[in-house]
Amino acid sequence: MSGVARSVAVAAPHPAAVGAAEDAVRRGGNAVDAALAAATVLTVVYPHQCALGGDLIALVRAPGQAGATAVVSAGAQPAGLDVGALTAAPMPRRGIRTVTTPGVVGGWTALADLGALLPLGAALDTAAAVADDGIEVSAGLARGIEAQRDAVLADPGLRGVFAARGDVATAGDTLRQPALAATLRELAAEPDAFYRGPVAARLAAGLRALGGDHTAEDLAAHRPEIVPALEREIGAGRWWVAPPPSQGALLLGVLPAAMDPDRAGREADPLVTACVRGIEVRDRELGDPRGTAVDVDAMVELRLADGISTPPAGRALGDTVAISAVDSDGLAVCLIQSVFQTFGAGLLEPSTGIVLHNRGAAFSTAPASPGYLRPGTRPPHTLCPAIAWSPDRLIALGCQGGRAQAWILAQVARELLSGSMAPGEVLARPRWVVGARDLGYDRTVLLAEPGVPHALAAAGELGLPVVETEGPIDEAGHVQAAVRTADGHLRAATDPRADGRASVVAGF
């Protein structure tokens, strides 16, 4: 592409994030720069779903690269965690005991090292300006604030930002975050300060003040994993996902059912059966390879075995943001960052302005579980970015959707990779998810938007309870997709269930 302006297709769940990505491309950035610009701004404008106090898992595939690279920046429990204080009961859903070391900033730095053309500091400075100047509260953020009204009002840090007028902020209000802006500016000058500098010192002290076992040494110990992505040839394409503790292997497990050429002609959708099986396999197999043996093949093959099934307590709503970007050079990125459940642990550390995630809630206190709580280990992770390639196209896709992310992506995979429908049409189609406590039910159900008769038929065959909704729902995911065709055309699509925007922008 020498001498030709680089173009980037990018999709993210908020217009301000896409605007930042466009600016980065116009300054000479590529798909990595676009994704990082969007990611940093999202921690300001979508703090109920992602924050500096969350985790990040991403995939990058460079032009001509045989495979793809995974960045797994998921934080661990404090080394000094008092396990005995927690193992007498199920893991708490929220609170300081669910806060693991945040991995987002380390993940950004690792991604930048994998091919960014612009300094990461420029993206952080842009995000700081947004936090200082203020942003209009979007419909999605307003829903998150209202859904967690009690938690927002209970925590002094959250209350001071999201209920500064005395009552919680609503759609259209202006949200300013001066403490977060100051932190972002410090990180723009030195991103490593989050883990080994003044920001780390303030954050560690703040976590201790909130009752945590976290120390500056725990923050300094964090290192993102940069490893080859898991890879399988499925249908007409090659697929890449992140390894454990990500649940990416389960997407590889259910994709064969989604790609089945006879699927459309069947009365009952075989993908529903695969996903129900996947729920049990995940709960029996998924954990942190640093603390337990993880059988990746069992997840890819959806192989059931003797073990314990321990789905996490509590409902995960609005947990994640996905950013997908592909450029005209053939560089593809999918970045997912998250605070887990809406507003994470229900805590904002006041000196830094950082919302803290509750990823630790995904640990199990059952010793036989692969997700058993151990100091220094990472919890089972829902984040599930994906990249796929066929001779006709390259796609990057990811979604919000908690434990259902693999099931959501599988429902859009075939048409996105084949190009049989425009990407926006694929994401607008009705979807379904299967789950239990993560969807707010005490047993596994199929939660279905209107217009999925084949899924309903499959649920009937399985004896699976069905909950039908009146229209599109957040639980069916917020998918973001970016596509490059073999002839170089770029397309992007954002899920209509979110507040997002998609763009194809040319650099100069």
Share of the chain above pLDDT 70, in %: 96
- Tens of pLDDT, residues 209-251: 999 999 999 999 999 999 999 999 998 899 999 999 999 999 9
Q: Transcribe 150-213 into DSSP letters.
A: HHHHHSHHHHHHHSTTSS---TT-EE--HHHHHHHHHHHH-TTHHHHSHHHHHHHHHHHHTT--
Q: Are strands 466-468 and 445-448 parallel, antiparallel or unpaired?
A: parallel
pLDDT band, residue 312 (cuts 50/70/90): very low
Cα gap 120→116, rounded to integer Å: 8
Tell me the pTM: 0.95
**Average pLDDT of the segment spanning 156-172:** 95
- Tens of pLDDT, residues 403-428: 999 999 999 999 999 999 999 999 99
pLDDT of residue 82: 82
Task: Identify the CATH number of the domain in which residue 350 sits.
Answer: 3.60.20.40
Within-domain flag for 436: yes
Helix H, strand E, coil C: the string for 435-489 is: ECHHHCCCCCEEEECCCCHHHHHHHHHHCCCEEECCCCCHHHCEEEEEEEECCCC
Within-domain flag for 163: no
Q: 80-89, 151-160, 257-266 — which one is most confidently predicted on average?
A: 151-160
Cα gap 9→25, rounded to integer Å: 10
Query: Which burial class, exposed, middle or buried, applies to 172 when counting CB atoms under 10 A from its CB (0-12, 13-18, 19+)?
Result: exposed
Residues with a known catalytic role: 320
- Tens of pLDDT, residues 170-221: 999 999 999 999 999 999 999 999 999 999 999 999 999 999 999 999 999 9
Within-domain flag for 160: no
Domain count, the chain: 1
Within-domain flag for 199: yes
Residue type, 177: Q
Strand, helix or coil for residue 493: strand
pLDDT band, residue 306 (cuts 50/70/90): low
pLDDT of residue 414: 94
Domain that holds residue 222: 1-134+176-508
pLDDT band, residue 305 (cuts 50/70/90): low
Within-domain flag for 128: yes
Within-domain flag for 28: yes
Within-domain flag for 142: no
Within-domain flag for 146: no
Average pLDDT, rounded, for the chain: 93
Buried b (16+ CB within 10 A) or exposed e, 220-247: ebbebbbeebbebebbebbbbbbbbbbb
Query: Residue 235 CA to chain centroid, in angstroms?
Result: 25
